[in-house]
Chain A
């Protein structure tokens, strides 16, 4: 019997069996950010435990830092600068690779990591952040951990882990024009529930995966955690290999050839067995948007919000009623044409250059509707630079979007900037939880194209339905 991609990487990193299904797993790389990394480092310092291999550790500032032009350590987040300064103080003098606020490679941890070649196929990689699963797009065995587990990994280069169950998701068919990996993942979660992949690591495969560019794969894997999965992974292919060539932390020439040989073979065997399989024909997927307060409460833009009676489970029913109340929406109502107050393009889900390009295509020579707050926050300083070289910033600005420095920004509300009470926001982020983007803010998740089209229309709109061709 063959093995899966996940098992191959897992077995290669298993140091020893600890009994009861637990294994001691070697961790190749660790990435930290100021929100949760600062506490892990500080706690180790207090315990006088040293970091085993600081050279395998990376850190960036993304969560708390402001994204206004001319920003510094001071932030609108109450006592936010403590987190920034605490991380900086901890990495100072160590061999940790640090992307400070003014570093040209600073950015959101899950954007910087592939961009710099820090996440690589076949390695194990952790970060105290739930969206670490994004990196599975490169064939990296990557998952989010808590601070205590992160401390363990920093101190020992290992984690004690039980192998999760394995799920295969095959995406076949042909993705229609104007439909993105964001729509696929929203479709998937809406069909199978926010805990549909609980306890499983997912491998995505199929013709649609082969067609997807690396950045779209990152978007797909980013939301594996929103599907309840431990992580998601995609086998490396030629696209992965050329994407990684020449990146700052990718192997250099000589080693790259050796790596290429290894990566090219790194895939699931034909006869490998998964615990669960889901097949999706992507040919019929249309642009999706969420209407509720959980990513599973998503529908095609052309559909109406379901009726409460359609839900069988009592608890789910109650959750639906709560969600509708929070969102200021009614059951059975159509979501298309719902008026919005703001549009947000950013976050580790959809803030890479291809995301900005696809939004800019729609915004070109157009203006956002009156009274709409529209904000674009590039995922990294590199993405921002690239976008400016291509003149995308001008398109965003002349359409009426604010153009920001990179960071997590208004993907989550930490007490700083927010959209305001009861404001309806269409957003390229990954979580539409209550109060996630601000006190009583109503978040609708969608793709960058849908967000751009909705900003122009002033209401939730599919790019196609408002007559915009990509």
Chain B
């Protein structure tokens, strides 16, 4: 996974509340057992006039210049609620989104972001409002700069907003670590725990006694 430190990018305002993962990628756009090839389906229902022809809807923000090149999404609260499908994050990431700014997120979506190198920034609705005015004004020039090391988003020359993120999530994003490998190194502690756990809860093993 790519490591995440600091970058500047075009930000697209998509200010709607409760954008669910079905909207981020409709289920029927998930066509293969793969984490790739999903960006075509991103926001498909809004992005295209017809899903069959995939003719772009010119009114949808991500189809407009320069938002077509956006790497930051500024959006409404409860973003990514709904289905647990990680495809939503894979699609956003493949399309080029590296950070999202919203007042709140669906909880499974949030951890899916961290696991895939997308930074989900939590910010107050009022900050988001003024931020979106600014980015709409002159999107090409008015880029946002995200600095994960310092927990800051800056826009225009004067305004710097800070955000809070869990230390572990931050480290994970910065170092682009593989969690499975890290946890596998704790295998002996896990095994020890497991042995005791199954001994103190013998009923827990019951089902697999009969089926092994």
Contact = CB atoms under 8 A, between A and B. Distances in A.
Interface of A: 12-13, 15-16, 18-22, 24, 26, 28, 35-36, 38-39, 42-43, 47, 49, 55-56, 77-79, 82-83, 86, 95, 97, 117-118, 120, 122-123, 128-130, 144-149, 151-152, 155-158, 160, 162, 164, 194-195, 198-199, 228, 230, 248-252, 255-256, 258-259, 262, 294, 315-316, 318-319, 322, 412-416, 431, 433-436, 439
B94 interface: no
B9 interface: no
Interface string B192-205: 01100100011111
Contacts of B186: 15-16, 24, 156
Contacts of B16: 315, 318-319, 322
22 contacts: A19-B167, A19-B168, A20-B166, A36-B85, A36-B86, A55-B211, A82-B32, A117-B207, A145-B111, A152-B183, A195-B81, A198-B104, A230-B107, A249-B207, A251-B203, A251-B204, A256-B206, A262-B203, A294-B18, A315-B16, A414-B28, A433-B22
Contact of B115 (A129, A149, A434): A149
A28 B203 CA distance: 12
B33 A156 contact: no
B33 A258 contact: no
A15 B186 CA distance: 10
B184 A156 contact: yes
Contacts of B31: 78-79
Contacts of A151: 180
Contact of A319 (B18, B33, B35): B18
A245 B27 CA distance: 37
Contacts of B201: 122, 262
Given A146-B115, A315-B77, A78 B28 contact: yes
Given A21-B166, A130-B84, A144-B84, A414 B27 contact: yes
B17 interface: yes
Contact of B211 (A28, A97, A149, A198): A97
Interface in B122-178: 125, 166-168
B197 A26 contact: yes
A255 B202 contact: yes
A202 B109 CA distance: 19
B76 interface: yes
Given A36-B85, A250-B206, A16 B183 contact: no
A162 B189 contact: no
Contacts of A294: 18
Given A157-B194, A249-B207, A413-B28, A36 B112 contact: no
Given A38-B33, A78-B28, A130-B82, A433 B190 contact: no
A255 B15 CA distance: 54
B84 A128 contact: yes
Nearest to B34: A39
A433 B115 contact: no
B180 A130 contact: no
A433 B168 contact: no
Contacts of A86: 33
Contacts of A19: 167-168
A415 B203 contact: no
B175 to A, nearest CB: 14
Which size bracket describes the interface of B in this complex? 35 or more
B28 to A, nearest CB: 3
Interface string B62-96: 00000000000000111001111110010000000
Contacts of A28: 204
Nearest to B21: A130
A232 to B, nearest CB: 13
Contacts of B49: none
A120 B205 CA distance: 12
Nearest to B29: A415
Given A15-B189, A15-B193, A24-B186, A195 B77 contact: yes
B190 A152 contact: no
Contacts of A122: 201
Contact of A194 (B27, B35, B78, B197): B78
Contact of A145 (B22, B108, B211): B108
A39 B35 contact: yes
Contacts of B17: 315-316, 318-319
A185 to B, nearest CB: 15
Contacts of B53: none
A16 B203 contact: no
A120 B207 CA distance: 11
A316 B18 CA distance: 9
A18 B168 contact: yes
A35 B85 CA distance: 9
Contact of A146 (B28, B86, B125): B86
Contact of A433 (B82, B125, B203, B210): B82
Query: Which 3 residue pairs are nearest across A and B when measured between Cβ atoms?
Result: A415-B28, A251-B206, A259-B203
A57 to B, nearest CB: 11
For B81, B190, B212, the residue with the greatest tally of chain A CB atoms inside 10 Å of its CB is: B81
A156 B190 CA distance: 8
A199 B77 CA distance: 13
